[in-house]
Structure 1
């Protein structure tokens, strides 16, 4: 598996609380849930190459 890119993210505390509760409902960490949501948005926007899109579905 490729190493993941790490970067700081500043986020409104109220939005973080929403994400934290949502992640808990989905049995994910906040980090994993944010990555999941970004991946879904990139797919819907047609921004992921097809090979990457299929690979990410199995992650």
Structure 2
């Protein structure tokens, strides 16, 4: 994943404050963004599984 140095610096600062690795912090932020849009990770996995079933 590519991000600007400013975004990465902010993520690093937040990760340190919340005692997480940068990778874990990115995952938390992505999950929160997905949840705000009404999509959970489990729901997306189900959609991918259905798409795979449809293509068979």
TM score, norm. by length of structure 2: 0.66
Identify the structure with the greater helix proportion: 2
Q: Deviations over 1:8-56 (max 9, x none)?
A: x11101111111011000000111001001101111211126xx37xxx
Cα RMSD after superposing both structures: 1.7
Runs of 4+ in 1 over 2 A off after TM superposition: none
Residues 1:17 and 2:31 are matched in the alignment: no
- Is there any run of 5+ residues in structure 1 with no aligned partner, and where? 1-8, 54-59
